[in-house]
Structure 1
Amino acid sequence: MVIGLGLVAFIMDSVGGVLFAKFLNLFRKEKINPMIGAAGISAFPMSSRVIQKMATDEDPQNFILMHAAGANVSG
């Protein structure tokens, strides 16, 4: 039961971070990569590296590890 609740919380945190980044992009001139929102899980330090891997797979010139790590540390 506890593991299931933790998994649901992890998924909702990732989805919430992405949706919040997309919401902020509606009001900003300089856009935020929504993947950064998914890295904001401080209890899961690997999330910034996973986001970097996903970004590099999409665009090899895309290097967002430092931005993702900053969002990850601030949680």
Structure 2
Amino acid sequence: IPSVSEKVLSQVLRQLAADGIIRRELFQDVPPRTEYSVTEFGKTLLPHVEALLNWGRENFERIMENRKNVK
């Protein structure tokens, strides 16, 4: 997501980890790094995310046209 700030991304990732949707693993490498992965609980969201993506693809032109009409 090009427009998201590092601060906002960090906050969202920490909340998703707190919710149990993703796993956050810290490594004490130099420099330190963090890896994220989807938990089994998080994987239950995938069909819903895919359905939302499909809806967006199917309605993309209409959405873009509606945006033009607002401006």
TM-score by length of 1: 0.26
Larger proportion of strand: 2
Identify which of structures 1 and 2 has the higher relative contact order when contacts are C-alpha pairs closer than 8 Å and 6+ apart: 1
TM-score by length of 2: 0.28
